[in-house]
Amino acid sequence: MENELIIVLDFGGQYNQLIARRVRECGVYCEVRSYRTPVEEIQKLAPKGIIFTGGPNSVYEETSPHVDKAVLDLGIPVLGICYGAQLMAYTLGGRVRSCETSEYGKTETFYDKTCELFADMPEKAVSWMSHTDYVAEVPEGFRITAHTENCPAAAFECPEKKLYAVQFHPEVNHTEQGITMLDSFVKKVCGCAGTWNMKNYAKTAVEQIRAKVGDGRALLALSGGVDSSVACALMAKAIGDRLTCVFVDHGLMRKNEGDEVEAAFRDRSVNFIRVDASERFLSKLEGVSDPEAKRKIIGEEFIRVFEDEAKKIGRVDFLVQGTIYPDVIESGTGDAAVIKSHHNVGGLPDCVDFREIIEPLRMLFKDEVRKLGTELGLADYLVWRQPFPGPGLAVRVIGDITREKLDILRDADFIFREEIAKAGLDREINQYFAVLTDMRSVGVMGDGRTYDYILALRGVTTSDFMTADFARIPYDVLERASVRIVNEVRHINRVCYDITSKPPATIEWE
Ligand code: XMP
């Protein structure tokens, strides 16, 4: 994608992706690779620099991930972080030992400003430490460039060989000016210009897509989510009406959502097909109240509808998918229990006759996908759309689904979202929505008794959606939403706010 490349060799550190993101923030393209990547392959990639990540192991254990010493002899600058620093020391003949007092958390650190990494740093600042081993002796030819109270070699270097190491985590926000150190590494040590940005990315990606597709045709399943929308906009720019995007409207979208998606893509030069399949989905879902059964039905029906459309279109050369980089990095690692069978429009290849898959966002992180969307002229409401589950409102209407319940939920959810936006909390709270429970309760309105549905509101803050905290929405905002919902939406007479985090709850209710 770019001549300037930094590679992050992953030794199992929890911050592997974060390091790559930070390097990209410095304007340099960066990819995460396994520590097993052969040295010949690294040479072929010709990176301007290499970063070794942290990891949970001890270098002196035989089963720990190690690195081919040849990587350190390539003449390419290397920065070792935490385990990566210990590994560099160990591989080159230094000594690593178990700490008497392990260091964890914010730690006062003293920097030697003559080291290129720290030239723009104060002499003393806080770094983020998380280690139980330490480098007791640096390898021959190295010198120590930072220390803490308990860690004599918090950083060390051998500038002649362009090898640098830090025991702390510069990629974590708690390390003061960590980004300055990474910036110094990629620019001063590795000599990168730092010109990578979304404008250039879009330009190169468009050229590459054109070269690959030639005069072929491509098909994309558009869900209206951020990833498929941005993939669509990018493909549209590259190949125009040789792209057909199929937007399956399952009738389980939020208020106005289907029309918004249509409006965003109708006028782009692509073939846009909106399939109103709500009847099909709703009749299949009739009387079904088990969450997993709902998810399965929707997932399968989605594929059937898409298949029917694909048959009408005939053979295409490429199927476009909105896979993003975290999926690529994480793929193949999960063997965790299935809590919910997720349905995405990503996994459809079996039902379409095509030659190859194109994943134009494959190398981008979510925030970069958003930036690219903006670069391509997509409206904010699409680019900043919060995650929305593939099965849509079906998993937010508890119990069996009817058109009436969906309409009630849509109206209530709309009001809640509006109030959150009015309060300026829409980017701060990562996901927020309403859930229509299947419980009813007694209320009083005017002078009469009501017996109507209980609505639940949910708001969470999270960075990865794997764990989440319930959002501390101010009471007055909740109150405004509650008053409006009960007044404006028929059949809701009570509103609750979900104060459970994940775990033990999940974000969605089903
Ligand atoms: P849970 O409810 O498992 O959700 O805590 C975590 C995140 O995933 C979203 N979600 C889905 N996304 N297809 C998707 O693409 C699905 O089937 C699905 N189910 C849940 C959920 O909204 C939250 O952001």
Q: Is the pTM of this model over 0.85?
A: no
Q: Do 5-189 and 198-383 come out as alike in CATH topology?
A: yes
Q: Is 147 a catalytic residue?
A: no
Q: Does 115 qualify as catalytic in the annotation?
A: no
Task: Give strand ranges (E) for 49-121.
Answer: 49-52, 78-81, 95-111
Q: Residue of the nearest CA to atom 21 in ligand 1?
A: 389
Q: Which ligand 1 atom sits closest to the C-alpha of 509?
A: 2
Three-point CA angle 161, 166, 171, nearest 5°: 120
Nearest ligand 1 atom to alpha carbon 508: 2
Please give the distance, rounded to the nearest whole angstrom, from the Cα atom of residue 510 to the centre of ligand 1.
9
Q: Where do the structural domains in the chain lie, given as residue ranges?
A: 5-189, 198-383, 396-497
Q: Could you tell me if 398 and 425 are in contact, meaning their C-beta atoms sit under 8 angstroms apart?
A: no
DSSP of 437-461, one letter per residue?
Answer: EEEEEEEEETTEEEEEEEEEEEEEE
Tokens, residue 341: 């069978």
CA 87 vs. chain centroid, Å, equals 29
Distance 396 CA to ligand 1 centre (A): 11
For residue 391 and ligand 1, the question of a CB distance below 6 A is answered with yes
Q: Give the position of tokens 């070269």.
A: 211
What is the CA angle 208-209-215, rounded to 5?
A: 120
Give DSSP secondary structure letters for 344-390.
-TT--GGGS--SEEE-TTTT--HHHHHHHHHHTT--HHHHTPPP--T
Residue type, 287: G
> Residue 236 has what pLDDT?
94
Q: Which two tokens stand for residue 436?
A: 């229509």
pLDDT at 441: 98
What H or E segment, with its residue span, contains residue 126?
strand 124-137
Pocket test for ligand 1, best of 254, 339, 507, 510 (most atoms within 8 A of CB): 507
Determine the pLDDT at residue 303. Answer: 87
* CA angle 291–294–298, rounded 5-degree value: 145
Classify domain 396-497 by CATH number: 3.30.300.10
Q: Is 376 exposed, middle or buried (0-12, 13-18, 19+ CB in 10 A)?
A: buried
User: Could you say which of 171, 176, 368, 508 is catalytic?
Assistant: 171
Closest atom of ligand 1 to 386 CA is 24
Euclidean distance between the first and the last CA atom of the chain, given in angstroms as a whole number: 40
Contacts (Cβ under 8 Å, ≥6 apart) of 117: 79, 145, 155, 157, 164, 166, 181, 184, 185, 189
Out of 3.10.20.600, 3.40.50.620, 3.90.110.10, 3.40.250.10, select the CATH number for domain 198-383.
3.40.50.620
Asked if residue 341 has its Cβ within 6 Å of ligand 1, the reply is no
The CATH code belonging to domain 5-189 is: 3.40.50.880
Q: Identify the pLDDT of residue 181.
A: 97
| 245 tagged catalytic | no
Sign of the C-alpha dihedral computed for residues 63, 69, 71 and 76 taken in this order: positive
Q: Which of 228, 300, 344, 465 to mutate to test the pocket of ligand 1 (most atoms within 8 A of CB)?
A: 465
pLDDT attached to residue 36: 93
CA 288 to ligand 1 centroid distance, Å: 20
Omega before 77 within 30 of 0, i.e. cis? no
Ligand 1 centroid distance, CA of 395 (Å): 10
Q: Which of 4, 30, 31, 82 is catalytic?
A: 82
Nearest atom (ligand 1) to Cα of 391: 17
Q: pLDDT digit of tens for each residue in the chain (510 aa)?
A: 457 999 999 998 888 889 999 999 999 999 999 999 999 999 999 999 999 999 999 999 989 999 999 999 999 999 999 999 999 999 999 999 998 888 899 999 999 999 999 999 999 999 999 998 999 999 999 999 999 999 999 999 999 999 999 999 999 989 999 999 999 999 999 999 999 999 999 999 999 999 999 999 999 999 888 999 999 999 999 999 999 999 999 999 999 999 988 988 887 788 999 999 999 999 999 999 999 999 999 999 998 898 899 889 888 999 998 889 887 876 633 344 666 666 655 455 566 678 888 999 999 988 999 999 999 999 998 898 899 999 999 999 999 999 999 999 999 999 999 999 999 999 899 999 999 999 999 999 888 999 999 999 999 999 878 889 999 999 999 999 999 999 999 999 999 999 999 999 999 999
